[in-house]
Amino acid sequence: MPQSLAQIYLHLVFSTQDRQPLIRADIQPRLHAYLAGTLNAIHCPALCVGGMPDHVHLLLRLSRTVTVADVVKATKVESSKWMKENANLPGFAWQAGYGIFSVSASQLETVTHYIVNQAEHHRVRTFQDEFRRFLENHQLSYDEAYVWD
């Protein structure tokens, strides 16, 4: 086959270091736009970006020439710099870990709705409970001692 084609959708989730609620409401839209721009710059189009004061969700289409590690590194490094400069948070950092989950094309609308409605979900569920549920739904085994840093 002379042409290489790929259509891989991913849902990336990571939190602030120690899950500190540092992403203020006034900065959220700009941070989310910056994260989307970072993804777009590495040819991984952002389909939806959202989150809460202590974490972000990114729905993206993975480029066929970029690794998952490249995506995570670019989004965390660039947005961490941005938060330090634009949110006046010189010590800002993301957690070391992350979760990234495959999404079928038939579920894009559902995942987008989930990301857009984060505030509603978190009225009754903490980030930790949400993340545990993702791990369980995707049948990922984990050790609770190493999930949170």
Which pLDDT tens digit goes with each residue over 17-43? Answer: 999 999 999 999 999 999 999 999 999
What is the spatial distance between Cα 27 and Cα 82, in angstroms, rounded to a whole number? Answer: 11
pLDDT, residue 34, reads 98
| Rounded percentage of the chain residues whose pLDDT exceeds 90 | 74
C-alpha neighbours within 13 Å on the C-beta side of residue 101: 22
Kindly report the CATH number assigned to the domain that includes residue 50.
Answer: 3.30.70.1290
**Structural domain includes residue 3:** no
**Structural domain includes residue 149:** no
Nearest Cα residue to 15 out of 96, 103, 122: 96
Identify the domain containing residue 102 by its residue range: 8-107+114-141
pLDDT, residue 75, reads 98
**Structural domain includes residue 2:** no
- Per the prediction, the chain carries an average pLDDT of 93
What's the whole-model pTM score? 0.92
**Structural domain includes residue 59:** yes
**Structural domain includes residue 122:** yes
- Do 14 and 68 touch, CB atoms closer than 8 A? no
- pLDDT confidence tier of residue 1, bands split at 50, 70 and 90: low
What is the spatial distance between Cα 85 and Cα 10, in angstroms, rounded to a whole number? Answer: 28
Q: What is the pLDDT of residues 34-89, one digit of tens each?
A: 999 999 999 999 999 999 999 999 999 999 999 999 999 999 999 999 999 999 99
Q: What is the pLDDT of residues 89-98, one digit of tens each?
A: 999 999 999 9
Nearest Cα residue to 23 out of 59, 71, 58, 56: 56
